[in-house]
A and B are shown apart, each in its own frame.
Chain A
Amino acid sequence: MPFARPTKPKLAVWKFASCDGCQLSLLDCEDELLAVCEHITIANFPEASRARVDGPYDLSLVEGSITTPHDAERIHRIRRASKYLVSIGACATGGGIQALRNFQDVQEFVSVVYARPEYIQTLAKSTPIADHVYVDFELRGCPISKPQLLELVNSFLNKRPPNLPNRNVCAECKLRGNTCVMVAEGKPCLGPVTQGGCDAICPSFRRGCYGCFGPGEAPNIAALSARMSEHLGVDTSDLVRVYRTYNSAADPFRKESERHES
């Protein structure tokens, strides 16, 4: 059938260890959701629909980190069924808050939370999707930004690369015209080493950035740590925690936190 109407691309949303907030961002696109659905078939999105369409899928959005033996297998099946796979959010790209286990004994964690540890199956480390399979693109953030998600889907539908600037939070803060919270108010801020995309929300509310979009490109983290400890009264043990939040499995943050561990 040479003139058959092209079918709509199929979108699938997959969940691993996460809070569901990043996939919820798609449902939170209240003004755009119905328009997006005219151009794409929601083929697998359990949080939104009971209906399922078999793969392969044109666009897979993967939320969450890998924390169980079963999930470490499942991500390979999803990769095989997906033409273009995007990991979304800090769990999928930086291990998530649950990667705090990576620095401690997970079996001890199990015994703290559960009365019957033998019922619980879990891996020693929480790891990003890219540690397991090839990832075509990553959307950062805890949670991801809605404008960035829409740009990603839009660029995919129009067969062009996503136009998402690779600048840090500092650059976005300047663009918003904020006074620097670190220079003017002496508040510790991860803006200089954190990838932008949030539009510098925290400094706009007069608090320092806490790095939820993960490390930016080639960050000079050691210089920032020195500044925070010498001028802002952040002591070494605090520095460990500063880099161990939502992206602690991302290499630059992990290494810097380990450097300050006594």
Chain B
Amino acid sequence: MSPENSTTKKPTRRSIKVDYLARVEGEGAMDIKIRGEKVEDVKLKIFEPPRFFEAFLRGRRFEEAPDITARICGICPVAYQMSSCHAIEQALGVTVDGQLRALRRLLYCGEWIESHVLHIYMLHAPDFLGYPDAVTLAKDYPDVVKKALLLKKIGNELVTLLGGREIHPINVKVGGFYRVPDKAELKAFLPRLEEALPIAQETVAFAGGLPFPDFEPEYEFVSLRHPDEYPFNEGRIVSSKGIDIPTSEFFDHFQEKHVEHSTSLHGLIRERGSYLVGPLARYSLNFDKLTPTAQQAAKDAGLAETCSNPFKSIVVRSVETLWAIEEAIKIIESYERSTESSVPCPPRAGVGHGCTEAPRGILYHQYEIDEHGFIKNAIIVPPTSQNQKRIEEDLFEFVSENIGLSDESLQWKCEQAIRNYDPCISCSCHFLKMKIERHD
């Protein structure tokens, strides 16, 4: 229980140590080694105790996968439920469309709203404004924080309406839902979304007005792309350097590497190396699929049609929040209750792939199922493990460009640079210890 942040100085060697990075989900550590004016090494260490989901999924029935994999992450359980359902449905040769598909998108809207707003105001904005947390921020900006909490609450209410509760919803199943809502139940929620809309507009303006460092690394963006929609549940995996593949070919182009300093596997593009998933990638590869209101709000907030400044991910999240609210309204307005709450899913042997857009980026699942419906193999690739290598590279470049900053300032900026990614460490794996070592 010693203070986790301390600064020690020695004549020939400076070392800044942060044992535990705050306002991220999960726990990790970071080591930055600086000698003179050069960054020697950056390691994002992840010690989240491994929980072995892929191992104990073997021998479970396919129907259990959405509930079990939701427990990988309390912040984005819907993403896990969606990717697992899609992968298993593909293995079973089942297609879920029409109103059931629309309801899945609606549920995902709820998760994007609550997750993005949590990150924008409670995890990320305090860095830009120089506060330790949102509660302290609320003392000087009471109206901003109160509205933020209301917006977040509306997202959670939407998840609860469809899913039964905000964390680990209970209503999602392979093939659809246990119970589908009446038209009237959903219509009754429209006023809440209409209340949310202007707050989301204000959020884009608020985020756009924050101070951003000049920092634009060369990224290879990777996201889903769908012919008609801003991506959620379905689409091809595309990249800014020409990848354009069905989800089933994921491992032909992407690989996972196990490194000593992490219980999370590093995601890499074969041949080229690191890549970036999440809001910046989604936005830059799918700007044309946003609603005109969201596009205009983005432009008014100073964003171009692509965005390579990771600090501006807060603006992109706010644009996506606005979009998700509009999308939710659109889905509810055209909703007709389907007669069946789910599509029948008889067991058969097969392999299926599912990739959906979690708030933090693409989440890939693969399952092999036997003829009786038992899972033989499961592979899960979460967004944060895919971004892990890229986070290290951002830090390397950011520290190199800002080596003149004081230790204290550099430390906070590095924490902020990690929080740009809204890392979800439980997903990928525990301790964000941060250490900057300087050797003169």
Chain A positions within 8 Å of B, measured between CB atoms, are 15-25, 27-28, 30-31, 33-34, 37, 42, 46-52, 54-55, 67-68, 71, 77-78, 81, 96-98, 100-101, 104, 106, 108-110, 112-116, 119-120, 122, 142-143, 198, 201-202, 204-207, 210, 212, 241, 245-246
Contact = CB atoms under 8 A, between A and B. Distances in A.
B365 interface: no
A77 B2 CA distance: 11
Interface in B107-137: 114, 118, 122, 126, 132-136
Given A34-B138, A201-B170, A27 B49 contact: no
CB-based closest 10 A-B pairs: A21-B74, A49-B133, A51-B132, A109-B55, A30-B153, A100-B56, A115-B258, A98-B51, A50-B22, A30-B149
Contact of B49 (A23, A116, A122): A122
B420 interface: no
A97 B71 CA distance: 8
Interface string B245-262: 000000000000111100
Given A48-B133, A115-B265, A205-B178, 16 more contacts: A16-B49, A20-B26, A20-B74, A21-B74, A27-B118, A28-B166, A49-B136, A51-B132, A81-B1, A97-B71, A113-B52, A113-B55, A115-B258, A205-B170, A207-B173, A241-B61
A31 to B, nearest CB: 7
B179 interface: yes
Contacts of B132: 49-51
Interface of B: 1-5, 20-27, 48-56, 58, 60-61, 64, 67-68, 71-75, 77, 114, 118, 122, 126, 132-136, 138, 145-146, 149-150, 152-153, 156, 164-168, 170-171, 173, 178-179, 257-260, 263, 265, 341, 415, 426, 430
A98 B415 contact: no
Contacts of A20: 25-26, 73-75, 426
Contact of A42 (B72, B114, B133): B133
A23 B118 CA distance: 13
15 contacts: A17-B51, A19-B73, A31-B149, A31-B153, A34-B135, A46-B22, A47-B25, A50-B132, A67-B50, A104-B56, A110-B50, A116-B260, A206-B178, A206-B341, A241-B60
A37 B142 CA distance: 13
Given A20-B75, A30-B156, A77-B1, A50 B415 contact: yes
A143 B166 CA distance: 9
A113 B27 CA distance: 20
Nearest to A15: B27
B135 A202 contact: no
B72 A19 contact: yes
A246 B74 CA distance: 14
B433 to A, nearest CB: 11
A42 B67 CA distance: 32
A48 B125 CA distance: 12
Contact of A22 (B4, B22, B55, B74): B74
Contacts of A22: 74, 167
Contacts of A49: 22-23, 132-133, 135-136
Nearest to B64: A241
A241 B61 CA distance: 9
A54 B156 contact: no
A52 B3 contact: yes
B136 A51 contact: yes
Contacts of B259: 119
B152 A30 contact: yes
B77 A21 contact: yes
Contacts of B426: 18-20
A254 B168 CA distance: 23
A245 B263 CA distance: 23
Contacts of A108: 55
B435 to A, nearest CB: 16
Most chain B CB inside 10 Å of its own CB: which residue of A18, A47, A96, A108? A47
Contacts of A33: 135, 149
Nearest to A71: B49
A21 B167 contact: yes
Contact of B135 (A37, A46, A205, A241): A37
